[in-house]
Amino acid sequence: MSQEVTHNTDRKRFVITVDGETAGHADYVTPSDDVRDFNHTVINPDFRGKGLSSPLIKTALDETREAGLKAVASCSAVQHFVSKNPEYEDLIRR
């Protein structure tokens, strides 16, 4: 199973594909120039239960950090990921 996460900046969305097929996405809004508010994460029904939300959210947060931005975890999936991965706590703006 080949998976890839890409950043669609026009749609403000990180997309995970599996073997070339879209498996899910993490959407965000930008309430200010230095913040991405992750407000919606979806794994498509055919791909649920395969552990795809973690690499999707990890990549989204890693790229947010690399861009010098902060993140808001409005989405419960992102909140859960951060609670299980405390190394991302410093990235989250409360």
Q: Provide the CATH number for the domain around residue 54.
A: 3.40.630.30
DSSP string computed for 3-71: EEEEEETTTTEEEEEETTEEEEEEEEEEEETTEEEEEEEEE-GGGTTSS-HHHHHHHHHHHHHHTT-EE
What's the CA gap between 45 and 47, in Å, rounded? 5
Domain count along the chain: 1
Q: What is the identity of the amino acid at 25? A: H
Per the structure, the complete domain to which residue 69 belongs is given by 3-91
- Taking the model in full, what pTM does it have? 0.96
pLDDT digits 0-9 by tens, 5-46: 999 999 999 999 999 999 999 999 999 999 999 999 999 999
pLDDT digits 0-9 by tens, 40-93: 999 999 999 999 999 999 999 999 999 999 999 999 999 999 999 999 999 999
